[in-house]
């Protein structure tokens, strides 16, 4: 006697193949052990062993993986192309010349440059305080006197503060470099998009 479950699965598969001969179908098994067929594998089953069918024939695992990778690559390229078109459209509609891009860059740099100047001032003060604490420590050692715990604490805190300021400065300078690079790239792209078309 034919197993009805097997028969129904085969019938579904046959109908799917007949209706969409060009479509790719996948076969997977759920947590209850039931076999399913479809054009898309549910995310929760994407990592398990699966079979892919195309034009009614089963594709080998390696071939199926290559097909999937190729499809994903094409989809990613399509998304990237759409994103680039969106950015290009925004670029030419936002600016009417390269000078406006420079002005926008300078406006964006004002805040980060002010932060850099502020950090540099604080770092200079912190370094001066640390130098004074260390001189005091050195004088106590030369006089063969014990270095007070409070002075040791001051030195440790001053070193920690100065290190933090150095990290903040490096971060702000990195941000400044990124802003400059971004606007330079925008300007180069704007130049490409607005360049007169060469006549053939």
- Taking only the tens of pLDDT, the chain with its 200 residues reads 445 555 455 555 555 545 444 456 777 677 787 887 777 777 776 666 555 555 555 555 555 567 678 888 888 888 989 999 999 899 989 999 999 999 999 999 999 999 999 999 999 999 999 999 999 999 999 999 999 999 999 999 999 999 999 999 999 999 999 999 999 999 999 999 998 876 65
Taking residue 9's Cβ as centre, other Cβ atoms within 10 Å add up to 16
* Token reading at 25: 């179908």
* Token reading at 86: 């969106």
Phi/psi region, residue 18 (left: phi>0; alpha: psi -120 to 50; beta: rest), is alpha
Scan for tokens 């054009």, then name that residue: 39
Taking residue 173's Cβ as centre, other Cβ atoms within 10 Å add up to 15
Do residues 119 and 162 make contact, with C-beta atoms less than 8 angstroms apart?
Answer: no
Task: State the pTM of this model.
Answer: 0.57
Q: Domain ranges for the chain, please list them.
A: 4-59, 69-94, 96-194
């Amino acid at each position: 006697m034919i197993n009805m479950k097997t028969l129904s699965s085969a019938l579904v598969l046959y109908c799917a193949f007949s209706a969409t001969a060009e479509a790719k179908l996948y076969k997977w098994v759920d947590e209850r052990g039931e076999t399913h067929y479809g054009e898309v594998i549910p995310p929760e089953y994407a990592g398990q062993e699966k079979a892919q069918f195309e034009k009614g024939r089963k594709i080998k695992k390696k071939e199926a993986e290559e097909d999937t990778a190729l499809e994903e690559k094409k989809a990613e390229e399509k998304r990237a192309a759409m994103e680039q078109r969106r950015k290009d459209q925004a670029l030419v509609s936002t600016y009417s010349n390269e000078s406006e891009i420079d002005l926008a860059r300078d406006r964006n740099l004002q805040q980060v440059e002010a932060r850099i100047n502020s950090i540099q001032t604080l770092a200079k003060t912190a370094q001066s305080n640390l130098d004074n604490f260390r001189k005091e420590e050195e004088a106590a050692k030369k006089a063969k006197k014990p270095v007070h715990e409070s002075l040791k604490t001051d030195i440790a805190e001053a070193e920690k503060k100065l290190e933090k300021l150095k990290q903040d400065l490096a971060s702000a300078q990195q941000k400044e470099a990124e802003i400059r690079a971004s606007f330079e790239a925008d300007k180069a792209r704007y130049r490409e998009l607005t360049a007169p078309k060469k006549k053939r």
